[in-house]
Structure 1
Amino acid sequence: MTMDEKGYRLDDLDRRIIYALMREGRATATSIAENTNVSGATVRNRIDKLEDLGIITGYQAHIDFETAGGKLRNLYLCNVSVPEREALAHEARAIPGVINVRSLMTGRRNLHVLAIGESTKDLQRISRSLSKLGIEIEDEDLLEDELFDPYEPFNPDDRPRTPALNDFIDLTGNAKILTVNIAAKAPITGMSLEEANRTGILDEDTLVIAIERDNQEIMPHGDTVIQSDDIVTLLSRHRTDARAFEAFQVPPPEETTS
């Protein structure tokens, strides 16, 4: 699991969504849903939540400025005092032509300024503007190319996972807390928890303890009906995860004999 500074715990669905958006910022909720075992509405709700929490802060097009009019990109490596770093970063960002400012925590060259110029004369203007702010330019160079990749640990194909499993926590006493997405044709879909227990779909070693539906948390009761695309948190004492969430997955097709 991943915990952000606000205390929100990223689950596997969050990571899959973030990875997809890092690969393609224009990816639709429907296209992301095709590979996440949930509906487009669930993906849209999660994206809204990640944006509200400040985890997803925006979407940016990557532009080849040389192709788009022969413009020059220049990277300025600058030194600023730590107490003034944040204020100077905002002032540098306001200079016409500056498109990106990065602040580094420690060391020299702790402010990187990326700017676009029509010509070398235009880049010299930006250099003078930075110097007037009291920003020391230690080095600068024309930027030839940039390569972008999504954060690989969020790649759902980078590690084998059971499709319905979102996340888990190991507890003492051979117990686990699992989070699973409910498939449309899962055995439990459309059943109340009381009915699922009575018919043996859920056994005594599996307890549903929370349900997320349309970005709302639901406290489960006996008459609570499990729906497709619900994200269910359960307490399991089964030896294997596969046994724990077999009620929530689409059963494998039966083999036919000729």
Structure 2
Amino acid sequence: MGIEIDAIDERIIHRLTQDARHTSAPEIAEEVDVSAPTIRNRIRRLEEEGVIEGYHAQIDYEKLGGRLANLFFCTAVVTDRDRFAQRILDIPGVINIREVMSGEENLHVTVIATDTADIRRIAQEIAALGVDIDHEELLHQEHFQPYEPFGPDQPEMGAPVTGIADLSEDADLVELPVAENAAIAGKTIQTATEEGLITEDLLVISIEREDGANAETPAGHTTIQAGDVATLFSRTGIADEALRAFTEG
């Protein structure tokens, strides 16, 4: 089951996919008009939820001693597909395996070899595991790009505190500080929901602590404190009463 994300998460994913090495939290924050700690908290959440699984270098192995990249299209018993994939990964030279939801050619195995003899050696080790190699191809080049619907050509995001972003016709996203005497200050999200301060259509998607401490991903037991910077999202528009709960006593 997937997790809920918004336009800020989408932009983070787009920018990190585009160039994770040279992209900083402050750069993304400037683009989407939120604070850098908010972006860092969002990235941490995406990592913890398993959305961002890692940051990998894209290598041209041909430039490293003329190594060969080869793709094997293999068929394994469907019920044991994952087990076979793990065993194939242990073979020296195997760098990637895709498990495909099909009966035939359900494992796509990418290998790096020093020469054609090394490719044959890897093929023999795969076959020795009881996996059929249906055919193989030498890879020339791979091309990657970010998922464009998450990119900057989507609707603009509004400024924090001073403005609300229209993510769709009625959706609102706002980042605002919790006032010292706010009605919601000192209450858990569950309590605030039970008291009607947080309505069913309102989602607290992040909380940035005043002292710079990293807050946990908002949940029912999370306490909203005075001085927090809360990011709120609603697909139907945030009511004035909800905003006042965070900014007024």
Calculate the TM-score normalised by the size of structure 1.
0.70
| CA RMSD of superposed structures (Å) | 3.1
Residue aligning to 2:4:
9
Q: 5+ residue gaps in structure 1?
A: 171-175, 183-187, 195-206, 239-243, 246-258
What is the letter of the counterpart of residue 180 of structure 1? V
Residue aligning to 1:142:
138
Residue aligning to 1:181:
175
Rounded Cα–Cα distance in structure 2 between residues aligned with 1:219 and 1:94: 46
Q: Is the 8 A contact 2:155 2:167 kept in 1?
A: no
Rounded Cα–Cα distance in structure 2 between residues aligned with 1:169 and 1:162: 10
Aligned pairs for 1:78-227 within 5 A? 78-155=74-151, 157-164=152-159, 178-182=172-176, 212-214=206-208, 215-216=215-216, 217=218, 224=226, 227=229
Q: Report which of the two has the higher share of helix.
A: 2
Give the paired residue count: 208
Residue aligning to 2:19:
24
Please point out which of 39, 45, 64 is paired with 2:35.
39
**C-alpha displacement at 1:84, in angstroms?**
1.2
Q: Is the 8 A contact 1:79 1:137 kept in 2?
A: yes
**C-alpha displacement at 1:42, in angstroms?**
1.2
Calculate the TM-score normalised by the size of structure 2.
0.72
- 1:236 equivalent to 2:238? Answer yes
Rounded Cα–Cα distance in structure 1 between residues aligned with 2:231 and 2:30: 16
**C-alpha displacement at 1:225, in angstroms?**
5.5
**C-alpha displacement at 1:31, in angstroms?**
2.1
Rounded Cα–Cα distance in structure 2 between residues aligned with 1:87 and 1:192: 57
Tell me the SS of whatever aligns to 2:62.
coil
Q: Is the 8 A contact 2:157 2:167 kept in 1?
A: no
Larger Rg over CA atoms = 1
What is the letter of the counterpart of residue 178 of structure 1? D
Q: 5+ residue gaps in structure 2?
A: 184-196, 209-214, 244-249
Q: C-alpha deviations, 1:37-82, integer Å up to 9, x for none?
A: 1122111111111111111111110000011221100000011110
Distance 1:233 1:112, change over 3 A: closer
- 1:66 equivalent to 2:87? Answer no
Identity of paired residues, percent? 37
Q: Is the 8 A contact 2:76 2:106 kept in 1?
A: yes
What is the letter of the counterpart of residue 96 of structure 1? P
